[in-house]
Each structure stands twice: as C-alpha cells, then as structure tokens.
C-alpha cells in the first residue's frame, strides 16, 4: 500500500488492526512527508522520532492494543507529555519537561496511539501567532490557537492531532485548513495536565480528515470508547440555521456556504429547515464569553505575569491587564447569565430542534500578518458548552477552505457525529463527501 500518509485516521486504524499495514511503515511515511513540507508549514515544535519508531516496531510485534493502535498523533504543545518538552507556546517554558502525560495523552497512548511530536500552539493558546502557515497557501494563517495541529493534519503529516478551544481554537483552524475539527461537549475530556487559560471555557478535542477520524480521537481522549462507533441517523432531525447577532461580520462567501449547507441538509432534515433568531436577552453572550475568558486568563497566568512578564508578548500582557480590570462581581454575574442561557438553550433543543448549522469563521483564512482570525462565530457555542464540529463546504476568493459548524444539544455528542456524517454524504462535491 503506497502513500500511507494520505490515509485518514480511521482508514489507517482499520488497516493496522487487520495487519494490512505496519505501524512503522505508516510512521515513516508521515516522517517523510514532514521532511518534505515542514520547512514551509512549520507545524511542529518538536518531534520524538526515535521513541515513536521504537513504539511503532513494538506495536507491530505485539497484540492489537486499542482503537488507536499504531496511529501517529500530533499533540498540541499545550498538553503535557512526559517524554517531549511542553512549552505552552511560550519561551518561558522552552525547556520544560513535565513529569507525566496529560490525562488525554495517557489515554491515547493506552489506546495504542504513537505520540509523534508536539504541534505549534499560539502563546498560552491565546492570540499571539506562532510560526505555522496555512498548508494551502503559506502566506495565510492556519488559525489559532491549535495552529500546528490543524495544519499538520491538513498537510498529511499526521492523520490525527489534538486541539483545545476556549473561544474558537478548534473550529476556526479546522475551517481555515480544510479539515474536520471536533469540539465535544464541555467536560467530555479531562483537562488535567493541559495548561489552563479559562477553566470555565477550556474544552479539548481533535482534528482529522473525516468525521469518523475525530470520533475515534475523542473516544480515546475521553475514555468513552463507544463514541468511536458512529450510528446511522435513526430519525430525521429538526434543523435550524443560526447566523447569530454577529452576522454582519460574515463575508459573502460565508453566506454562500450557509446556503449550500441548507440545501444539502434538506435531504436529512425533518420538515423545512428553519432560521433561528436567538432572543434579544442572548445577544450579549459574545461579550460575556470575552469577559469571562479575560478575567480567568488574568488569574490563570498570574504566576507568569508576576515573574516573567518580559518574556510574554505585548498582546497577552494587555489581555491580562484587561482581565484584571473586570471586577469579580461582574465575573460572577456573567457566569450566572451564561448558566441561564445554557438552561434556555437546553429547553430549545428539547422542544424545538436537534441541530444548529452556523458559520465557523467570518471568511477564509486571513494573511499571516493579520493574525489568526476572528473567533466571533465560535464564542457563544463555547460559552454554552455545546458540542460542535466543522465540515468543509466551500472556498473563499483566494481558493482557501470555508467551513460551517454543526452544533447539537448538551451532551448530544453521539447524535452530532451521526448528523455530521450524514450531512457530509449529501454534499455535492465528491471530495467534500470524503469527510464522512
């Protein structure tokens, strides 16, 4: 079997489990691809080639270890790894070696995954860009903060990579790089061993090339192994398009992508696809998410700010100052508003709809010099803790990918994966259908 690096995670996992390919051959194919492209894409902070190859050879000789048996995996440099440096995207931690793996990393190893290396994160998973470029055009950003993970998967360097989202750090890079990104329900995956930015919002997930890939990844990361088996839709879901109060920021290409999503989703929907206008009392959710994030950031990074502020970027230093100026009473009030909004949305999902389709980003990936892109269309769904998945559906004026996100009710991760796969199969472009 040639071009092993082009296999999706789920394709490779099946071939490995049936001994049709060797883990060592797959790993060497990925390393060869990295050798060809890393000088352009710059997706990696470090690679553990020797350890990874030793692990692959051992897996080839032993019994099938788990659902990720023999799969090379990229780990965002926000996740602790005991055998690779973990820098959190900051020079402060340039030579930091944690004593143990993050829980999610340990579970991926337990499931047979091979940790190939650490992928670039923006500074403390915030907005200061790293060196990574978009694999489709190296003058454009891959998005942030999970920059390296999204780019590495998109460029066939690795079939699966981890990410985290506090605002839009999985869904937005997935859209910009043209891969499937899955942010599960808040709390689905343990955040232990992952550098915290805003504990009320931080959610872990992963990137793959198909819906089945990300289901496999999150199943291993969470320990919910049943998640890896995606069921067919048993009933047609009630679907709504939600443009949100920030729709004015969307490009015309995003409007076209949503229109195509509506057309494709009609095949799987129960009745007519409706338009969901959130009530006026929810219009402030974006600002609430921003305040909670900044306030919690100012406390999460208090040690670094106190001792190493000169090694931190002006951007993150300013964010910490801004967060510290949000008084605690405002913070508590925002948390209560968020909880009330979550209760409202839970009722909405129970009574009126099953699935929301919304934009993933305001447009295609901007130029590197303009930053990692605006997470505005992800903020409220992250705040509400709802499971989200990005599917690629169109392209922008520069030919770069454009995605839409599907959002399900709280805890409805299995349904979301079923719906995403079903929708991907309806897309008119045969290449896009491969996301299923």
Contact indicator for 139, 367 with CB cutoff of 8 Å: yes
Last residue of a domain, one of 273, 308, 328: 328
Catalytic residue among 10, 133, 149, 169: 169
Q: Are residues 418 and 324 in the same domain?
A: no
pLDDT value at residue 191: 98
Distances (CA, A) of 195 to 77, 231, 369, 375, 397: 9, 34, 26, 20, 36
pTM: 0.98
Q: Are residues 366 and 294 in the same domain?
A: no
Q: Is 145 a catalytic residue?
A: yes
For helices 376-383 and 285-300, the axis angle rounded to 10 degrees is 80
pLDDT value at residue 163: 98
Contact indicator for 298, 263 with CB cutoff of 8 Å: no
Q: Is 42 a catalytic residue?
A: no
Q: CATH number of the domain at 17, please.
A: 3.90.1300.10
3-class DSSP assignment, residue 204: strand
Catalytic residue among 24, 104, 145, 222: 145
Q: Are residues 66 and 117 in the same domain?
A: yes
* Sign of the torsion formed by the C-alpha atoms of 277, 282, 286 and 287: positive
Rg (CA), the chain: 20
Q: Are residues 171 and 298 in the same domain?
A: no
Q: Are residues 194 and 98 in the same domain?
A: yes
Q: Are residues 313 and 420 in the same domain?
A: no
Q: Are residues 89 and 77 in the same domain?
A: yes
pLDDT value at residue 251: 97
Contact indicator for 279, 271 with CB cutoff of 8 Å: no
Structural domain of residue 151, as residue ranges?
1-282+337-436
Q: Are residues 401 and 289 in the same domain?
A: no
Q: Is 104 a catalytic residue?
A: no
Kindly give the parts of the chain with pLDDT less than 50.
none
Of the CA atoms within 13 Å of residue 432, those in its CB half-sphere come to 24
Catalytic residue among 76, 183, 188, 195: 76
3-class DSSP assignment, residue 240: strand
Number of domains within the chain: 2
Q: Are residues 197 and 266 in the same domain?
A: yes
pLDDT value at residue 1: 59
The alpha carbon torsion through 130, 197, 406, 429 (nearest 10 deg) reads 10
pLDDT value at residue 2: 66
Q: Are residues 86 and 210 in the same domain?
A: yes
């Amino acid at each position: 079997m040639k071009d092993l690096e082009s296999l999706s995670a789920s394709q490779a996992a099946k071939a490995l489990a049936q001994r049709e390919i060797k883990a060592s051959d797959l790993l060497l194919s990925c390393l060869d691809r990295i050798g060809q492209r890393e000088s352009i894409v710059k997706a990696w902070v470090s690679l553990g080639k020797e350890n990874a190859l030793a692990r692959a050879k051992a897996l080839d000789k032993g019994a099938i270890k788990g659902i990720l048996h023999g799969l090379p995996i990229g780990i965002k440099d926000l996740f602790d790894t005991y055998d690779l440096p973990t820098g959190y995207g900051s020079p402060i931690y340039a030579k930091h070696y944690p004593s143990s793996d993050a829980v999610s990393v340990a579970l991926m190893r337990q499931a047979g995954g091979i940790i190939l290396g650490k992928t670039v994160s923006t500074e403390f998973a915030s907005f200061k860009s790293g060196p990574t470029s978009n694999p489709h055009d190296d003058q454009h950003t891959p998005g942030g903060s999970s920059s390296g993970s999204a780019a590495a998967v998109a460029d066939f360097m690795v079939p699966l990579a981890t990410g985290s989202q506090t605002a839009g750090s999985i869904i937005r890079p997935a859209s910009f790089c043209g891969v499937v990104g899955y942010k599960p329900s808040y709390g689905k995956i343990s955040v232990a061993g992952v550098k915290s930015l805003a504990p009320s919002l931080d959610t872990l997930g992963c990137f793959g090339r198909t819906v089945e890939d990300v289901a496999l990844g999150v199943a291993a990361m969470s320990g919910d192994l049943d998640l890896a088996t995606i069921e067919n839709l048993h009933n047609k879901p009630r679907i709504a398009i939600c443009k949100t109060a920030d729709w004015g920021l969307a490009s015309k290409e995003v409007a076209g992508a949503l229109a195509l999503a509506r057309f494709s989703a009609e095949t799987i929907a129960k009745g007519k696809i409706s338009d969901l206008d959130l009530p006026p009392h929810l219009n402030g959710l974006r600002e609430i998410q921003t305040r909670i994030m900044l306030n919690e950031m100012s406390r999460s990074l208090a040690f670094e700010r106190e001792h190493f502020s000169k090694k931190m970027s002006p951007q993150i230093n300013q964010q910490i100052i801004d967060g510290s100026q949000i008084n605690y009473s405002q913070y508590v009030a925002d948390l209560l508003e968020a909880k009330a909004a979550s209760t409202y949305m839970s009722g909405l999902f129970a009574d009126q709809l099953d699935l929301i389709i919304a934009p993933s980003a305001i447009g295609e990936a901007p130029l590197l010099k303009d930053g990692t892109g605006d997470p505005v269309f992800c903020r409220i769904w992250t705040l509400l803790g709802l499971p989200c998945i990005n599917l690629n559906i169109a392209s922008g004026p520069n030919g770069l990918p454009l995605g839409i996100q599907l959002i399900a009710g709280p805890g409805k991760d299995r349904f979301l994966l079923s719906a995403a796969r079903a929708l991907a199969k309806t897309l008119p472009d045969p290449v896009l259908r491969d996301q299923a």
